[in-house]
Structure 1
Amino acid sequence: MPDQDKDTINLQVSGEVGKYNSLPVDYLVEIAKNLQTLLQTLAKVNVSEGSTIDLNNFKIELTGFKAGSAVPQFSFTHRHQLTLNGDVDNQRELVRQKFDELVEASGKGDFIKVRELYPDAYRRNEVVDGLYNFVNSFGGSPVNVVSVKQKKGKDNIVPLYNIRPFAKEVRDRLVTPVIENKELETIQEVSFKKVVTTYRGDKKINSKTIEEYSDKQASLSLAPDMIISRTHIYHLFGSLRCLLEKEDDYYVMTCEILDLVGTGSTIEEAEQSFAEEFEFVYNRYNTLPDAELTKRLQSIKTILNALVKQVDAYAHA
């Protein structure tokens, strides 16, 4: 990728909208609003927990407009807000780097890369929503992120990568729905609890909690001692405290300490979704050096490695 100014984002809008080297005001406002929201979201989820941030430092301003076709130039605001222990310039450089990685992967249709950049559901949900709104700001107009350099007194526009919209169905596959945890009004909302244990020979294969619920929302604390995905069994040194919730006909299994969420229309589907998230995060974090993880993710990686005693190959019948 050619060198670019880390303080600015140049967007070249072509097609019918940009053919007169101008942009409608409402169109420009929508782009700017969604770009700023995405940048502020990336600041929230990427800047280390050891640094303080002020999201006002990630507001943007229109600082230029180039011809060929229409190229609005956005820059981080010059109105710095001081923070106690945060280097604003370094924070902005990190956010710009994450912006380029995320939007370039999306433009190539590499949504596996998007998932790898944000494997934990809580961060990924917010990032994907911001990304979806931004890349779909342009309608059907072709858009590139470009670098603008002066060459012989003229602007030399160099395309860096494309911005392409993606369908709501893709967004829904990347996002893990999270149901708000609400206090129970009465314990009578849970009608009964039954634990079913499966053995193969004399070896315990699985222990599953089956729940029947009333029409009202209910929640239950679970503590599995193994996580079973479609390919592996993760034996744990101890029980993993999780929360199983139900709202209407929808089930959510969460583990707050690991930032993991599994969902499904049945308890079994929620548990399987949770197991797949567990497996993905366990493998992903252990392929990355600590230097590429925030302090929070380093802590999760440490907990995962301390929790998993043994991993066995396994395939569902």
Structure 2
Amino acid sequence: MADWDIRKLQILRTLRERGTVTATAEALHMTPSAVSQQLTNLSRQLGVPLLEARGRRVRLTDAARLVLTHTEPVFEQLERAQAALAAYTGGEAGEVRVGAFPTSVPTLVVPAVRALRGTHPGVLVRVREAEAAEAYDLLTAGEVDLALSLAAEAPSAADPRLTQVPLLADPLDVALPPDHPLAPAPDLTLTDLAAEPWIFGGSGPWSDITRRACEAAGFSPHQGHSASGWTAILAMVEAGMGVALVPRMAATRRDGVVMRDLGPDGPVRHVTAAVRRGGESGRAVTHVLQALRGAAAAGAHPGVNPY
């Protein structure tokens, strides 16, 4: 029987996800030569070629992909075993590392932590702020136990590595200066603002969300200014430099800015929690997920719809 080495299989799995030996080494805190050596040894142990050269890069062979297809349930079961062992040895205590995108920290993570102090004081939550897409990378790399992110940045729902849990649909309101002629307009829509200069980041999830929302409304937004922080964006709106979409759970009150609801058919962003497949059975992770659901359902921001 072939010698199935879990550590080497994890390296092969990471190479599939990261694409290059260098990126795999960085993710696993190894040297590229060590990654190559481990995969060469695994190929020898299994008796099949796992990699083939493509120019300066390598790609997984069909045999490697077959191996990973059959070992995914093993990784899932190991996650379950680790979760079960943690529950056995720690009971209601345990540490959960949470990677969370910036606006979710004050609106979801902090209320969840406060709730856990009262219901499960032995559960310790360690928060790592990360951009939406990075949160998933941290999760798959094993650097966090739970990722709080946006569905738009999530891997495919068919991804065998992750279990994704919808938390809420966060409406996107439009921010306008108070003297804007459309600020008091009834039944305001995005299409009404198609000719306006828009303020959003030059790249990243918020740029993508703004562009997709406007394109769904039938126009491509003209980017008048580029900014990624809400303080800068709202300051420019207040100065009459343009308009912006702002997620309701991220909005902060500002006297010089009018926030307009775009109605039941307006754009939303979907917030999800994700764990590695099998990890959701861990007691501490379950308590954190329940607390996050409670924070999402608490209605701290009117119009935010929990699932």
Which is richer in helix?
Answer: 2
TM-score, normalising length from structure 1? 0.20
